[in-house]
Amino acid sequence: MEPSNYYIIMKTKIEQLLKTAELAISESYCPYSNFPVSAVLVSEAGKIFTGVNIENSSFGLTNCAERTAVFKAVSEGYTKFSDILIFAPKAMPYPCGACRQVLSEFAGEQFNIHVATIKDNVPVVESYTLAELLPKAFSK
């Protein structure tokens, strides 16, 4: 069966986001968990923001990669997003509850959450809508 154009466009987009996430992950600051995570956030206008997890010796102050990317983007005036890809080489990095809530605040009308890891040297990506990961979200 021929893949649809939509599938091809999404596959290419996800591959590009994954490449960006793989480059960004070198900036992860994770001396305590040794579990690097990066995130690539795409604004509705197509601007790209990266983020990494930033740990702290006072563990509660640690910030996830997704929220780092969102806060960078919002602080530069971008508040609506179409996609985020979250990447961790060691295991599939499903976003935590706090990040799901922050993402829901700034999700555009169509918002896709892609999670990616490397398994047996092959990238593995899963894609979800926000509603799938945060049903019945708290909102204004």
Piece of the chain touching Zn ion by CB under 5 A; list 24-32, 34-42, 57-65, 128-136: 57-65
Give the CB-side neighbour count of residue 109, counting CA atoms within 13 A: 1
Min CB(51)–Zn ion separation in Å: 10
Catalytic residue among 66, 109, 126, 132: 66
Cα separations in angstroms, 133 against 17, 19, 46, 88, 100 = 20, 24, 23, 18, 7
- CA separation for the pair 112, 96 (Å, rounded): 16
Mark whether 44 is an active-site residue.
no
For residues 70 and 113, give the distance between their C-alpha atoms in angstroms, rounded to a whole number: 13
- Interacting positions 100-129 with Zn ion (CB under 5 A): none
CA 98 to chain centre: 13
Indicate which single residue of 52, 99, 116, 130 sits in contact with Zn ion (rule: CB under 5 A). Answer: 99
Please report whether residue 45 would count as binding Zn ion according to CB under 5 A.
no
SS3 93: coil
Least Å distance between CB 38 and Zn ion? 13
Find the shortest distance in angstroms from Cβ 101 to Zn ion. Answer: 9
**Considering only residues 64, 73, 113, 116, which one is a binding residue for Zn ion as defined by CB under 5 A?**
64
Size of the residue set binding Zn ion (CB under 5 A): 3
The answer to whether the CB of 106 falls within 8 A of the CB of 69 is no
Which residues does the annotation mark as catalytic?
66
Contact residues for Zn ion, defined by CB under 5 A: 64, 96, 99
